[in-house]
Amino acid sequence: MQEFGRRLHHNTPGWVKDGASFHIRVRVADTPQSSLIHPLLARELLEAAQRYHARDRWWCELFLLMPDHWHAILVFPASPGMSRTLRDWKRGTARFQNVDWQENYFDHRIRNDAEFAETWHYIRRNPVARGLCASEDDWTWWCAPASET
Which residues does residue 31 pair with via DSSP β-bridges, in sequence order?
none
Q: How far is CA 108 from CA 33, 65, 82, 84, 124, in A?
A: 27, 18, 11, 16, 17
Task: Write down the pTM of the prediction.
Answer: 0.88
Comparison of pLDDT for 43 and 79, the residue scoring more: 43
CATH class of 21-148: alpha beta
Q: Which amino acid is at 120?
A: W
- Between CA 147 and CA 58, with CA 26 as vertex, the angle to 5 degrees is 40
Extents of the domains making up the chain? 21-148
Give percent above pLDDT 90 in the chain. 78
Per-residue pLDDT band at 32 (split at 50, 70, 90):
confident
Strands (E), 35-148: 59-65, 69-75, 106-110, 142-143
Q: What tens digit of pLDDT does each residue of 131-147 get?
A: 999 999 999 999 999 98
Q: What tens digit of pLDDT does each residue of 65-93 get?
A: 999 999 999 999 988 999 999 999 999 99
